[in-house]
Structure 1
Amino acid sequence: MSSKFPTNKKLENPGHVFSAVAHRGYRYCIQYGPDLICRRDVFVKLICIEHSLRATVQRVDMVKNKVKALEKAASIENNNTQLNDWKVELEQLQRECWKQDLKLYEHEKLIPEWPLKQNYDLLRENGAWYMIKELIKDSGSNSLL
């Protein structure tokens, strides 16, 4: 896993290990050391929200390109119906991006600051952080259900 990170940074792990435990009625929690326990569904939701946000941002980029192309064509043809439809969709997508970004921020605030939040932030420096082999293996099993 360390090959995915800049060499001058490391995940904080002063002798403790992360483990999956049951805690206070929650079947799947992440425990770090003797005192820190966080529900694992917080991280699952973060991954889902970020994935959805990335898809929406990609759609925004695609619609922006369509709008630019149709603006050039509209100056020639005077048919603005499709252009207006794309502009409406673009506005809706931009609002959706804002909502998803806010949702991501709210869920990130549920992560305990140290060490989980710092490690999470460091992990996210890699653009494909949610595709690391440990997460793929974990989600491939039925352990998240």
Structure 2
Amino acid sequence: MPDSVLPAPSQDGSMQGEHCHVFALRWADMDMLQHVNNTVYFRAIEEARMQIFGPLRHLFAPGIGVVLARAECDFLKPMSWPGNIEIVHRLVRIGRSSLDCNILIRKQGEPDTVYARSRAIVVLSDLASGKSSPWPAALLEQLQKQFAAAPSQAGG
């Protein structure tokens, strides 16, 4: 990775970098059709996001936090229990106070099958005023380390 605070943009302008988190499915995560319930996808994505930002919490100024500004998900194929979900965050853009990720949802052991595609935008915010806050340099440096420099076997 270059000596900058951000991953290098690719030719299409997107950022290079991924973060993968494995989320254990439970039998109770299925709906009456025996598919993983749509809310579980969002919960798994949330847990993966906390794996990215949780270890960096000590770098946040008091009263500053990460707020989810946008979340969307396209469900492509039903998933069922048993197994584990792989949540792959692909860093797309880091703005002055925001971070934009495309997210792939796969079942562990099925690297070529994408069950859902998601997108999330988080904003660093002053929690009292609700106004955005710029990313501190130290936090950007650590975010860079959270995302792998080389693309994973993420597929899709």
TM-score, with structure 1 as normaliser? 0.27
Bigger Rg, which one: 1
The structure showing larger relative contact order (alpha-carbon pairs under 8 Å, at least 6 residues apart) is: 2
The structure with the greater share of residues assigned to helix is 1
The structure with the greater share of residues assigned to strand is 2
